Chains A and B, each alone.
Chain A
Amino acid sequence: MPENKQISRFYPICYYIGLIILVLGCLMIIPAVTAVFSSEFNIFSIFLACASLTVMIGLGMIMIGCHYRQIKLNFGEGTIVASASWLLGMLLCALPYYFSGNYGSYLDCCFDVMSGLTTTGVVLIKDLDHVSNGINMWRHLLTFLGGQGMVVLALTFLSRRYANVYMMYVGEGKDEKLSPNAVTTSKSIWKISLLYLAIGTVVMTVFVVHAGMPIGEGFLHGMWIFMSAWSTGGFAPMSQNILYYHNLGVEVGSMIFFILGSLNFALHYAVLHGQRKEIWKNIEVVTFSITLSVLTLIAVSGLMQNNVYPNVMAMFRKGFYLMVSGHTTTGFMNIYAKQFFYEWGDIALFALILAMLFGGSACSTAGGFKALRIGIVCRAVKAEIGKMLIPDSRVKTSRIHHIKDIILSDAMVKSACLIIALYLLTFAVGTLAGMYAGYPYMMAAFESASVTGNVGLSIGITSPAMPAFLKILYIVIMWLGRLEFMSVLTLIAYVFRKVRRA
């Protein structure tokens, strides 16, 4: 083992990142097989070559660090593994996109990979309607992986160092323990997701086939739409997104699955293990229901003021669908991007921007502030007001209900406020950058809220023609938002420290 303490810490980090890269390389076999079944032999060879390269890089990193794998990582190092593997994973997963010829540049490929892994859903791909099945499978697989947590998937099956896995689990933006250790927790998350994958694929295939698609193609579309909906991703196999199907069943079916996808995995686990009443009293569900109702009322009143959707069905299928899509951070669209700007009006857009920033539940596939944090802050405000109305001699504790009753502590409130403040700061930076790029304030704010909350709704800014600096900034914002800042900021601090010491 090297004597230099700093150098010795590098090797276990390298080992764990290598494991994750190895798994990503192995996963490229799935789109390769899809390409073979679809007679896309050119795409098959691209995936085979990229998988070989990725596996070799992963194995190389494992070999470099394998002698030091017994070293226990601290919290900071665990988060560095999570954030660095997302960055390296992005660069390698973008290779099949680049060689497929569907993208204008390698930067565009990296943008789409980060959009997929972070379950955002904004895209820069060209001519999506004619993209091969292999590439489409890779797009949706990335978003499905990103939703459940790719770092945790890799380490669940390849590592026995449970303490280290927990550090990386937290570093990937998930901090709930479904069971005593991170490995069984992660296995539970994947079991729940795979169970729903089977149900959702059947349901969505039926709807897509009913909409008029042949059964073979309908199966692929059904599975991809479910993968996107459950992961609150927003990718779809057609450029018109959900609008392509013009089908109420597809819209309602996808809405049900992305509402379920935005729920906390701890809540799924509790409900599927007998605690059924939990779904009606959990603080996240209550908060989500209240914010969605209030914001929908505001949006609908704004849309009515502009007479955008003249009848109930249009208001439900467009107005409400897009509000839920935004609030759950899914990003499925059934209108054209420019219609937001030219038809929706300021009031409805304001409500949608707030919904995108609020987001879904903590420890789910969704992004945004998270309902848990909004619930904690609201309860803290209520508690502070309550304190002013009771005598000084009386002590009153506040509680929240999340799986069990929890006493509200100052540390919880501070942590929630800190993350919300960082989200707002990132949103402000994204909006400012959009305005510098020449877009109107409302467009810049909408797109910034969409990438900050990992939503994927677009008002028309995200396109291959947008400035390169905005693409890079959006990649960073998506990465920050998904990993909830701390992991990425720890990685940046680590790199700066290394550079300064060098």
Chain B
Amino acid sequence: MKGKQNNIVIGIFVEMIFAAIVVAGGWMISVLL
């Protein structure tokens, strides 16, 4: 049960990192151009 909860917490963290990378990519494009 605890392992399942850990998976969910880490999974949410991984998804947030992905979304943050997309946002950071947009910032980079704005800066570079």
Contact = CB atoms under 8 A, between A and B. Distances in A.
A312 B18 CA distance: 22
B7 to A, nearest CB: 5
Given A272-B12, A279-B15, 20 more contacts: A195-B12, A255-B23, A256-B19, A256-B23, A259-B22, A260-B15, A260-B16, A273-B7, A276-B10, A279-B14, A279-B18, A289-B22, A292-B22, A293-B29, A297-B33, A312-B27, A312-B30, A313-B30, A316-B26, A324-B26
B31 interface: yes
Main secondary structure, interface of A, reads helix
Nearest to A297: B29
A300 interface: yes
A259 B29 CA distance: 17
Contact of B29 (A195, A268, A289, A320): A320
B14 A276 contact: yes
A315 B15 contact: no
Interface of B: 4, 7-8, 10-12, 14-16, 18-20, 22-23, 25-27, 29-31, 33
A131 interface: no
Given A252-B23, A320-B30, A195 B8 contact: yes
A300 B19 contact: no
Interface residues of A, number: 36
Contacts of B18: 259, 279-280, 285
A272 B7 contact: yes
Interface in A256-315: 256-257, 259-260, 263, 268, 271-274, 276, 279-280, 285, 289, 292-293, 296-297, 300-301, 304, 312-313, 315
Contacts of A263: 15
A319 interface: yes
Interface of A: 195-196, 199, 252, 255-257, 259-260, 263, 268, 271-274, 276, 279-280, 285, 289, 292-293, 296-297, 300-301, 304, 312-313, 315-316, 319-321, 323-324
Contact of A271 (B14, B27, B29): B14
Contact of B27 (A272, A273, A320): A320
Nearest to B18: A279
Nearest to B21: A289
21 contacts: A255-B19, A256-B23, A259-B19, A260-B15, A263-B15, A268-B11, A271-B11, A271-B15, A272-B12, A273-B11, A274-B7, A274-B11, A276-B11, A279-B18, A289-B22, A297-B33, A301-B33, A316-B27, A320-B27, A320-B29, A324-B26
Nearest to B23: A255
B4 to A, nearest CB: 8
Nearest to B17: A279
